[in-house]
Structure 1
Amino acid sequence: MGRGTSARAALLLLVAILTSEAFEIEDIAPGHKVAAQIGQLLVLSCRTTGCISPNFSWRTHLDSPLGGIMSTQGPNSFLTVESVGFENEYTYFCNAHCGEEKREKRVQINIYSFPSDPVIEVSSPLVLGKPASITCRVPKVFPSEQLVLSLKKGDEVLPIGQCCDESHSSSVQTKTVNVNFTPTKEDIGKEITCLAELPIEDMEFEPKERKTTHVLNVNFGPLNTRITAFPATTLSEGEALTLSCETESHPPTKIVWKKQLADGTVQFIEESYNLHIPHTQFSSSGIYICEATNNVTKEVENRTVSITIQGPPVHPELSIFPSTSVREGEHVTLQCSVKSSPPADILIMKKSATEDAILESQDGSVHIPRVAPTDAGDYKCQVKNEFGEAQMTRALHVEYGPRNTTIVVTPSNIVKEGDTVIMICSTDGSPTPKVSWKKQLPNGGSRLVSGDGTLTLEKVQAEDMGHYECEGSNHAGKDNKAVELVVEVFSPTTRALTDAPEIFTVVEDFTTETTASNTPHQEADRHGQMENETSATPEDTAFTTYTTMKYDTVTYVVTSSDNDENGTEEIEIIIARMEEPNYVTPIIIAIAALATAAGPVAAILIYISRKAKINGSYSLVNSLKAKV
């Protein structure tokens, strides 16, 4: 019992002590003076002591709207402002009532705005040596007139002059500062720092200082571009070559390799820092260009290197102008060209079976003002340098018309009836002329008798006699040569009667010399056909008896004339074939003809004998040869 009484007494004592504590507003948070950032949340709390269930109220100076929400939790009261604005910049009062007792505490709200770090803006892109600007911007500052801005490049403070408007502003401001400068090589990679300070007296907030750092990204180049050739700029044909192009640039440059051609144009090769040629040739010689381009600065820098590939001459070319086939008399130029390093000595020669003839040339050219057939042939271009030699041969063809036409007649152009005659015509010309034979006709025309150079006449007859012309022709011209074929007609020996001959008489050509005392023959042409031995015979005419084969026909044309100049008399005979109608009558006719001709033959022999005594000897055969 004693213990229970003691506990009860202690509790009563404690309650007495608590109830005896004076009623007060113990604290107001976050303090009696608060710096509130515009736009942020603000919570004010008021806590009492000495009262279990106090009543609270909040108000502002001049009873302006609270601009917040009040809440109570036992001895605590809260005023929540979700977004601090200019309307919250007042003195707030917390009032607490406990029964009849009233307590009050106040808090001063000061607003500001310094929400973020400065923003650095650089004119883009920064190019070495070109004017640029840097801007430092601080957004949403209040009070802006108290903002302090500065710029530093590395350790160097940049002069920015007046930063901000010092007049008071009742609104949030964005403050900016600009600096103009020209980037140098020393600026590459440096840091630009923008420092912003808001030193408001009697206000406690953090941070009061903000800064931003930016690395200067200065674009430059290409600078100091250079080419390296490995193993060297002069190489032997077939060696590998590597060309490297190096440059200083930011950002890295684009490298393009090009080659300058002989005509002055530039040929694109490839885009790369290294150009590799595994097997060089003469065509690899030349001027190579490394083109470095900075796509940001738009600057281009070119460097060149001359590469020489040495070796024996290759691929000599012998050109003939205007063509390898020309006509006689035209102008011809032979031009020899070759790929060679070092340059090759050039010789142009005309080939021959014995010794090639070196022609006089200038710069690898030989000029022939008027080409002749003798200039045709093979020409050689020979090139040589210290590493070796090469050559090329080309033929020159000279076209000319037929010439030097010759005719060979075998056995002769005077042959006997029944012989075989071969007439061969040859001619010179380029291209090879086409050779043909023509025979002249009595009407003045001609007919083709052979389309090649050889004309063969088998068992010639009297009608084969005449004027034969050989013609050689090509597109460059023509050439003609003629021959007179004479067929001698002699009295054959009497043929066997088994051949069924027909005996007839012909007038034999002859020429007699006459004197002034001779009686002139009547000037008349007698043309007649002697069908048998009863044909009329001119006076003072010699006769020859001919034996003909079957189917023969003889036609006689007799011309008698006086020639005052030489006193000769001419008789012409033309022999043609005649078909025989039967096989019995030739025997009878032959016998009758022999009997009939006996008298005239004797007369002819007497006449010839007399003439021989008057004018000398006379040959009927020689007379025929002369006539033909």
Structure 2
Amino acid sequence: MQSLKLLLPLLLIVHEVRGQWQVWLSESVSAMSATCVVIPCSFTYPSSIAPSPGAIHGVWYYGTPYQNRYPPVVLKTRTDVFHESFAGRTKLLGDLQRGNCTLLMEDVGPQHAGKYFFRADLGGAKAYSFLESTDLKVLEQPDVDVPDDIVSDESLTLTCHAPDNCPGMTPEIQWMYTDFLPDPEFVLNVEEEGNTVVMSRSLVFTPSPMHNGQLLGCRVFYPDTSLVYERLVTLDVKYAPRSVWVNVSSEVMEGSSVTLHCEVDSNPPPRISWKLGDREVLWDTATNLSLTIDEATPEDEGVYTCIGENAYGAMNTSLYLAVKYPPREPSLNDSLTMVEGTSFTLHCSSQGSPPPTLTWLKDGEVVGTVTADELSVLEIQEVTPQDEGQYRCMAENEYGWTSGTLNVTVEYAPVLLEESKCTVVREGVQCVCVGAGNPEPTVEFFLPDSNTTVNETDRRYKFYTHTDGQRTTGMIKLKEKGERGDDATVPAVNVRCKISNVYGSQNVALELQQEKKYLMAVIVGTIGGVAVIAFIIAAVRYVGHNNKKENGLPREDAVLDNPIIYYSAAKKDKQNLRKKVLKTELLGSKFNSILEESTGEDGDFQPSRNLGGVEKRELNLDRPREGGAAGWGGHAHNENDDGATASYSEIKAK
């Protein structure tokens, strides 16, 4: 009951509408150019009006329904007045007396496209212009429905439409250029809306990226006529990036430039980005993108990825860029100070491309193993003093080399060296004690006979020390000889040497060694000196004898220069020989000056009666210089053949 109550007012409204002026027209109708078209039309008028039979007329206007604007008349049933563009083209198909106002228009052209309005005239003042209209579309080519998005691998339907609104002319529709489509399907449809008919043929297939840009065509033709209409469409197939092309992996030298190229195939064009690892370094919306690196550094080395992405998907491809460079300066431990017997480890690391070869050298000699890596470890177990020195790590690859150094210092207890001994010298006994250690050792001498520790100079002996790096040399000179043993030529000594540092000490008795070289040098020097003196005496006598024979008188120009000069030269030669002998017996050049000074103080050439059995020699001068010649020591006087007095010099030789 409630439903009936609601429907009753609606029926009353419909009945009232039906009693008013109304028209039914298709909103639009289409026709192929040069064909005909039927514009369906029907109308009603108020039931209160009763027109006379045959009194109903109608007018079709083009463009506007308002008469005062003088629209072009398409068709007028009361008269033959119409616009020239419609002359001979229009015909009323419907019966106006029955409310049918359908219009036929032949040979339509593009100029006829537009809105068409109908006016009903029932005679007298009973006329009505309807505001409703039909929009006529005149087609030069068929309509094709193409989806806004054609996506790869998704089914696609393209529909070609052709109007079938011309009596006696039925169109046919064909699809062109479908030979390369995958399994195409064709579906024919006929659609009716109002009193208009539209025929269509659909093409169904699944496109792929290869179909992007492909040309397809729809052809509409009318049999038994020459009328043919075609419409071409280009497929815009959307697809995710299907290929990303980049350079192959490459190498570049440090400081050089390199360009990485990327090209992406997708539709629409993708957003391309270059990434180094996870860091984006460049992007753009394009089909290709190049990344240029100027003055490449090792930090630029790594995996570069080109990513192409659009709304339909993404794809990427990577390459590896290697930056070659010579080894960097090695990183090493700090210099070390180790205690003998302990162990240490040295680390060396260096970067290079390709990775460098690391080699350890000690004092220029290869030690350990050669490592083809960025890290090398050198382990030394139970350190000895021989492990001390400069350690160098050399990093090398095909592009260059570099190195770094560190020093290893080994501290150890002192060691007595074999040069330590006591030696007989002219003045008595000289003892030398040489020790090596780190820290450098101290040297002390101990004389057990007198319970004396020697570390400074006193009136009986002299004490010297010298340090050269980790080597300490101590020397003591005993000025008084000890008691003689069985061999009267060798003094008896009892000397101990002590060397010590923070790690320990050594205390040993020094062995007394006869210095044969020194004795032989003294003997040879003495004999040589006597021989020189004898030669001088003989020469003087020979010259004096010749002078007497020639003139019987002394000759001033034949007088020999003072023989003391010759003797002094001989003495000097002997003295130098003595110094050389002493120098060869001492350790270290630092003691040469000390020995030379001490030799002068002791009077190397004082008279001695125990060397070579020579006590004195007399030099008889046949003809001395005027006024006499002063000699070294006392004088003696003898008569020569002429009764002249000769002067004698006493020469003491050692």
Q: Larger % of strand: which?
A: 1
Q: Larger % of helix: which?
A: 2
Instruction: Assess same fold via TM > 0.5.
Output: no
TM-score range, shorter chain: 0.3 to 0.5
TM-score (norm 1): 0.38
